[in-house]
Amino acid sequence: MPWFQLRVNGSLHNVNVDANMPLLWVLRDVLKLKGTKFGCGVAQCGACTVHLNGRAVRSCATPAGLASGSEITTIEGLSPDGSHPVQKAWIELGVPQCGYCQPGQIMSASALLAANPQPDDEQIDSAMSGNICRCGTYPRIRAAIHKAAESKAS
């Protein structure tokens, strides 16, 4: 198996795994970064969302080999202390219920706001449509994204 390098949350890791292994399992099983969640394994639920060079991707369907050379950000690296505007908005509005999908939701939301600092409802719904929440926290997710957008603007 080849050794290759992954840059995760600013740190460089040498990993020795099958290059086809999805990034999700490298993060969880090899690097022990367990904030990124497994939900479906086929890029249909969004629980495993991370950033690749700032763009939201589904780590369960991204071969680790392809992520080599990119800047990978996981929920652990979004902010050192939960102070990212999206995290703060999530806490303030108490978005999570069971919480399992929320790291993925937050990674999608933060990527959206980075690209579009003032999204409207439709843009939010479209950007977030790949992130499923079985507890149904959608209305609060949308409200929290607006809130984070406001706090970023001010």
Partner 1 sequence: MSVATKITRRDFLRQTGVGTGALVFGCYISPKGLFAEDIFHQSVALNSFVRIEPLHGTIIIMANRSEMGQGIRSSLAAVLADELEADWSRVEVRQADAEADKYVVPNPVPGAHPTFLISDEGSQFADSSRSMAAYYLPMRLFGAGIRVVLVGAAARVFGIDPAQCEARQHKVWRKDGKGIVRSLDYGDPLLLLAAKKVAAPTPDEARAALKPSKQWNFIGKEMPFVDVRDMVTGKAGYGADADPGRPGMLTAMIVRCPVANGTVKNFDDKAARAVPGVKDVRKVLPDGFPIVGGVGGAFIPHAGVAVVAENTWAALQGRRALKVEWDLTQSPAAIANAKYESKAYRKELEASTASAGNKLRSRGDVDAAFALPHQVVEASYYVPHLAQAPMEPPVAVALYENGRWEIWCPTQGPDVAQHYVGLAMLYPKDPVAWLVWQVSELTEVKPWEQAAQQSFNEQLGKMLGLDQTALFKRRDELKQEVRDKVKVHVTLLGGGFGRKSKPDYAVEAAFLATQQPGVPIRVQWTREDDIQFSYYNAVNHQYLKAAIDAGGKATALLQRSAFTSFFATLFPPADPRLPTAANETFRLARAAFHSGGEYPFGSGIELGQGLEDMPFDLENLRLENCAAPSHIRVGWMRSVANIYHAFSICSFADELAIAAGRDGKDYLLELIGKGRILDLATLKAEGLENFDNNQFPVDPLMAQLSSGKSVQVLPGYPPDTGRLRAVVERVAQAAGWDEKVKQYKQQPKGRGLGIAAHRSFLAYVAMVIDASLADNVLTIHEIHAAIDCGIAVNPDRVRRRWRGASSMA
Instruction: Name the site residues for partner 1 (rule: CB under 8 A).
Output: 1, 17-18, 21-22, 25, 28-30, 33-42, 45, 47, 74-76, 78-79, 81-82, 87, 90-91, 94-103, 106, 132-140
The Cα–Cα gap between 126 and 128 comes to 6
137, 95 Cβ separation under 8 angstroms: yes
Phi, psi of 55 (to 5 degrees): -100, 140
**Shortest CB 24 distance to partner 1, Å:** 8
**Shortest CB 154 distance to partner 1, Å:** 21
Q: What is the DSSP string of 22-42?
A: BHHHIIIIIS--TTS--S-SS
**Shortest CB 117 distance to partner 1, Å:** 20
The Cα–Cα gap between 123 and 103 comes to 20
The Cα–Cα gap between 144 and 154 comes to 15
The Cα–Cα gap between 57 and 118 comes to 21
**Shortest CB 103 distance to partner 1, Å:** 5
Of 54 and 136, which CB lies nearer to partner 1 in the complex structure?
A: 136
Of 26 and 127, which CB lies nearer to partner 1 in the complex structure?
A: 26
DSSP state of 20: T
